Structure 1
Amino acid sequence: MSEHNLENKLRKDLGLVSALSLVVGMVLGAGAFMKPPAVLEVAGDYYYALLAWFIGGVISICGGLTLCELGVMFPKTGGMLVYLEKIYGAKISHLYGWMMTVIFSPALIGALVGYFSSVFCSLFEIESTYKMAVGAGALGFIAFINAIGVKQAGYLQTIATACKLIPILLLAIFGLCKGNGQVALFSASGQGIETYAPFAVAILATLFAYDGWAQVASVAGEINNPAKVLPKAIILGIIFLVIVYACINIALFKIFPVQEMVSLGHKASSVASQRLFGHLGGNLVAVGIMVSILGGINGYIMTLSRTIFSMAERGNIVGARYLSTIDEDSRSPVNAILVLVVFSFLYSVLLDADRLSEISMFSIWVFYLLTFIGVIIARKKYPNIPRSYKVIGYPLIPIIAIAGSIYVIYGMLIHQTENGIASIVLTLIGLPMYYYYQSKNQHRDLSVGEVKKYRVKTQYTTALLAIGVVAVLIMYGSMAR
């Protein structure tokens, strides 16, 4: 396998605080507020719902501990793209990169944009016809910050992570202390609803809320001392999130009976805060939700654009030279960022946020499974590579991660067959493209990507384009009223 050295031009500006903020910032977003009612609806009971959150956390922790070994062995920008290439070869890594480019990345960010737009329009009482303009504005702002540089995007991630904790902690603490006691801990709830979905679907819903821990490995090439920082960031981040999610769920369970919480859906957190703090409190939590989602969008654009960049460096996708170009001023893969932003916006317009989240989760967990198995394979395939970090409790921890992955994939295929088949078909479309580019490039020296200095700074171009798109969409919204 050839080495891709252009990434050495990327700045190594991320430390433990920024990396930890990436984990918490990407994970602690829409899922903390949007998914508790969905998990409860599928689980059917408070305690089954809490069990689903606990199991989802255990799977994520075991997955994070397992993935860390590969992240330290191969501290390259691109994360799982690199791990799969080293372990399974170029074909599987290409399928993963293709899936990330056309399914997971735009679908996940598109879902977050959809959630952000809904909360924004609800808070400011804006008509739904302006949701596209709100989504375009949010994406344009994040693209502008990332076009300036990874350090500035890291600062935004740290600030967003710190700000979002305030309303989350208020809701959790006051809900636990002042909730009217709909559920008495460690005793039977006496409440429940009928559900026909397998329990694995409830775990799947929690995994959307937990997802993001793996993506910090995508910027390993931009982390100082990744062997030390990467495991700490992933492990500490996930443990913190398990505790936060447990507190938020118990707080909500103490405020709402089962039927009411399920019927409220995405509004449950705002209504809960209004009951605790009044109308102003509800608005405060709505602002917190928006900050959380904005931090998630920023974190995913930072990391997932690097995966697209690494994919383009291999020359196996359309526009490889364009997507693998680094801006000389910011030392960021600005073109990959812009393409990801555009496709994410289109997905948010075309599909519902909940469906986008389901499609993205199914797509990524198939490859998570391959990566967890890959840690065991790598022990035999690369026995002499130094490992400053090894999986704690090997092989038990990887086996738990593998078993958990198989279980949730099974649940998704049984309950959401249509989304599963669509994801598989879209992923396999990448195979003909792989063979085409392999045939095209095999007899020539492949040289893609460059460090390019633009005549107009990319952040200014990005800002102007975003403002123009938002203006057009506002006009469209006004005409559609």
Structure 2
Amino acid sequence: MTDQAPAYVRRLGIWDAAAIVIGGVIGAGIFRSASTVAERTGSGWQLLLLWAIGGLLTLTGVLCYAELGARRPQAGGVYIYLREAFGQLPAFLFGWTMALINYPGSVAAVATTFADYFCVALGVSHDWVKPIAGGAIAFIVGVNIFGIRAGARMQNLFTVLKLGAIVLVVVAGLALARTHLGTALGDDIAHPVSPWSFLGALLPVLFTYGGFHYLNDLAGEVREPQRTLPRALALGMGTVVICYVLVNLAYLTGLGHAGLAASHAPAADLVRQWLGDRGATLIAIGIACSTFGYCSIAIAGGARVLQTMGADGMFFRGVGRIDPRTRAPQVALLVLGTWAILLAASGRFDQLLNYTTVGEWLSHAFGIATLFWYRRRFAQEPSPYRVPLYPFTPLLFVSMVLGVIIATTVSSFRDAGLSLLLIIVGVPVYYTWRAMANPAR
């Protein structure tokens, strides 16, 4: 009789899970991307409408992920769904683009943003940005090596701190409301908008709402997953939507639509107007906490995808090992963290990340499309949670995401084309890896 291989232990409760959703979505985007959206809209009401539409669209995706997570509460998330529904090749392509490129690329990019704001908050020279970014990644990996419980405690703390930064921005907007309150939702004649540019503004909105899938990557460590996953996803994403709409309303009341469109750092500009340089330092600390928390979740989720691939023989077998004492994928954490540090040090990760964002949302579309397969294949199997308004809900999400990807390909063919090229390159890599793993006898 052989010893059973170590497996994950379900230690995450509903608050831990909801904090992962909030922390995985709220990074640095909301503190910066609102300006891009304002540039592509012609009024305050259009801007708020886009954030509301993006939130509702993302919530449809969250509801679908809730059913998928309840049906397959295992570590690996979308990789598991694609493997079961469409086979090993699509699952490998997802892992190839996400766990090896997008996860470490996004961690490197956001860790650098953390280091930027950390230097501002402490008055440190920006020559320290790369060492601080690498040190932050190493620290997060070190904490997560001790297991999901240690990582969850750190994540809960930084979720509270990032929500504090959101509250600071909203209060600043209310305090300055008298400046632009009467014109906050009015038309901005300086920014005439065509229907195509308005649709294009949805892209940065969706990207800012991205990251809701990380909880599914960690589903193997959630207690009572059939009940906890749907509740945590709904609670976490509902909180995010409310926060995003309130923050954008604060930007409009404090800066005005034209001022928001012209700002490169709207959160800092808004709080500085209210509290001066002291306020700019406070919001820099808040944004640093927000970005640090995101990196923690991305590393933890990405490592679980890598570990699942290793256990499947789709990556080095050693990466598939789970430590029997901490029940953490320690080798996968070290591999992902090391690669992210190298990307952060190279300074070229930002271009790589731009090429893979289309691939990330394409994987969301295909991941949610697996729900049709599960419903048909297990039609008689009771599910602890079923997405409402099926099949309209997944159809809406998939069609909208594909529409945005097509619009992006038309407007930014180079970035979208290279993103798709990276996915295609994964095909020969898959067959080469499979041949190496299963040589002819």
Please indicate the TM-score interval, normalised by the length of the shorter structure: over 0.9
What is aligned with 1:470?
none
Q: 1:46 aligns with which of 44, 58, 82?
A: 44
C-alpha distance in 2, partners of 1:431/1:295? Answer: 33
Aligned to 2:69: 71
Match of 2:246 in 1: 247
Distance 1:251 1:206, change over 3 A: same
**Matches of 2:193 and 2:333 in 1, distance apart?**
41
For residues 114-158 of structure 1, the C-alpha deviation after alignment (integer angstroms, 9 at most, x for no partner) is 211221222333333221111011111111111111100001111
Aligned to 1:456: none
Match of 2:402?
406
The amino acid that maps onto 1:274 is R
Q: How far has the Cα of 1:409 moved from its partner?
A: 0.7
Kept in 1: contact 2:44–2:185 (CA 8 A): no
What is aligned with 1:176?
174
Residue identity in the other structure for 1:434: Y
Distance 1:297 1:122 in 2: 19
After superposition, the CA RMSD in angstroms is 2.3
- Give distance in 1, aligned partners of 2:189 and 2:115: 33
Matched, 1:369 2:376: no
Partner of 2:415: 419
The Cα shift of 1:422 comes to 1.4
| Letter in structure 1 aligned against 2:317 | R
What is the DSSP-based 3-state SS (H/G/I as helix, E as strand, rest coil) of the residue aligned with 2:180?
coil
1:148 matched residue in structure 2:
146
The residue aligned with 2:319 is 323
After superposition, the C-alpha distances for 1:355-407 in whole angstroms (9 at most, x for unaligned) are: 55543431111111112222122211222333110011111211211122112
Quick one: distance in 1 between partners of 2:404 and 2:235?
A: 24
Could you tell me which amino acid in structure 2 is paired with residue 227 of structure 1?
Q
Deviation at 1:195, TM superposition (A): 6.1
* Superposition map of 1:300-319 within 5 A: 300-317=298-315
In the alignment, the residues of structure 2 paired with residue 6 and residue 129 of structure 1 have an alpha-carbon distance, to the nearest angstrom, of 49
Q: Distance in 2 between matches of 1:345 and 1:194?
A: 42
**Where do residues 262-411 of structure 1 align in structure 2 (5 Å cutoff)?**
262-265=261-264, 267-317=265-315, 320-351=316-347, 355=351, 358-411=354-407
* Cα separation, partners in 2 of 1:137 and 1:216, compared to 1, 3 Å: same
Assess, with a 3 A threshold, how the Cα gap between structure 1 residues 334 and 187 changes in structure 2: closer, same or farther. closer
Structure 2: distance between partners of 1:237 and 1:6: 35
**Structure 2 residue corresponding to 1:13, chosen from 11, 14, 23:** 11
Query: Structure 1: 5+ residue runs without aligned partners?
Result: 446-481
Q: What residue identity is the alignment partner of 2:249?
A: I
Identity %: 26
Which amino acid is 1:246 matched to?
A: V
Larger displacement relative to structure 2 (329-338 or 433-442): 433-442
Task: Return 5+ residue gaps in structure 2 as ranges.
Answer: none
Checking the alignment, whether the CA contact within 8 Å between 1:104 and 1:359 is kept in structure 2 is: no
Tell me the residue number matched to 1:220.
219
Matched with 1:60 is 58
Residue 286 and residue 191 in structure 1: after superposition, are their counterparts in 2 closer, same or farther (change >3 A)?
farther
1:205 aligns to 2:204 (yes or no): yes
- Relative distance call for 1:277 and 1:382 in structure 2 (3 A) is same
Q: TM-score, normalised by structure 1?
A: 0.85
Q: Which moved more, 1:189-198 or 1:256-265?
A: 189-198
| Partner-residue secondary structure (3-state), 1:182 | helix
Corresponding letter in the other structure for 1:223: V
- 1:32 paired with 2:34, answer no
1:138 equivalenced with 2:136 (yes/no): yes
Q: Does 1:432 align with 2:428?
A: yes
Report deviation, 1:58. Answer: 1.3
Q: Describe the SS at the equivalent of 2:309.
A: helix
Instruction: For residues 64-122 of structure 1, give each alpha carbon's deviation from its aligned partner in whole angstroms, at most 9, with x where no partner exists.
Output: 10121111111111000000111111111111111112321112112211211221222
1:351–1:200 distance in 2 versus 1, CA, 3 Å = farther
Counterpart-to-counterpart distance in 1, 2:382 and 2:343: 42
- Contact conserved, 1:85 with 1:92, CA < 8 A, in 2? yes
Q: What TM-score does the superposition give when structure 2 sets the normalisation length?
A: 0.93
Q: What is the aligned partner in structure 2 of residue 101 from structure 1?
A: 99
How many equivalent residue pairs? 438
Please say if residues 167 and 285 of structure 1, whose CA atoms lie closer than 8 Å, have aligned partners that are also in contact. yes
